A and B are shown apart, each in its own frame.
Chain A
Amino acid sequence: AQKITQTQPGMFVQEKEAVTLDCTYDTSDPSYGLFWYKQPSSGEMIFLIYQGSYDQQNATEGRYSLNFQKARKSANLVISASQLGDSAMYFCAFLSGGYQKVTFGTGTKLQVIP
């Protein structure tokens, strides 16, 4: 069974600074995808960024980038130039190539300080 771990229950970052949210996973499947979602206090799940297991380069989407280290089975999210609106819960999610079930990490609550 796949397992995904977020070890930081909460993080603080100063506005305009960069922050890294950790995510590690455990799988024996060769084909898989890793996703990051943002969940504001209103509850909706907002897709941020995706990394495929065969992707050679780290994914980037605007201020979001994914530090993918396949050998270490980690997929950390980097948010650059943090904004107050970035304060939210962030979930790392794993999808195996052989299944459609998405497994979520326990989440990290990010608070951006003015």
Chain B
Amino acid sequence: GAVVSQHPSRVICKSGTSVKIECRSLDFQATTMFWYRQFPKQSLMLMATSNEGSKATYEQGVEKDKFLINHASLTLSTLTVTSAHPEDSSFYICSAGTSSSYNSPLHFGNGTRLTVT
């Protein structure tokens, strides 16, 4: 089956620093990847849609300059949390689909737990 790898699984950083999270589709090409944020005991909130070779599409209320997304190839998308603050601490998870069809399930990475001190 389709495998999505996300790295790192956990990261602790100091306030003011930047953190990069990688999302890779290992055995398929993904023209589109999605980045979600999940607060404790809550559902997944879509942050942005990452499109290969073009700018990401951000959801309303998500700061583009804080959450930088780069989709440099068909198998790699990165999310950079810039100038991180404690309120950015959360669980971030990426997903990718093997096609754009509505009958194609999204496959998820294992997520990254970010803690900003």
Contacts and interface: CB of A to CB of B under 8 A. Distances in A.
Interface in B32-69: 32, 34, 42-44, 46, 49
Contact of A91 (B43, B95, B110, B113): B43
Contacts of B97: 100
Contacts of A104: 43-44
B39 to A, nearest CB: 12
Contacts of B32: 100
A114 interface: no
A52 B103 CA distance: 6
B102 A97 contact: yes
B85 interface: no
B90 to A, nearest CB: 11
A70 to B, nearest CB: 15
Counting chain B residues whose Cβ lies within 8 A of the other chain, the interface size class is 20 to 34
Nearest to B93: A45
Contact of A31 (B44, B100, B102, B104): B102
A93 B102 CA distance: 11
Interface string A35-50: 1010000111111001
A79 to B, nearest CB: 18
Contact of A32 (B100, B102, B113): B102
Taking each of A44, A100, A105, which has the highest tally of chain B beta carbons within 10 Å of its own beta carbon?
A: A100
Closest 4 CB pairs between A and B? A45-B108, A97-B102, A44-B110, A43-B111
Interface of B: 32, 34, 42-44, 46, 49, 91, 93, 95, 97, 100, 102-111, 113
Interface of A: 31-33, 35, 37, 42-47, 50, 52-53, 91, 93, 95-97, 100-102, 104-107
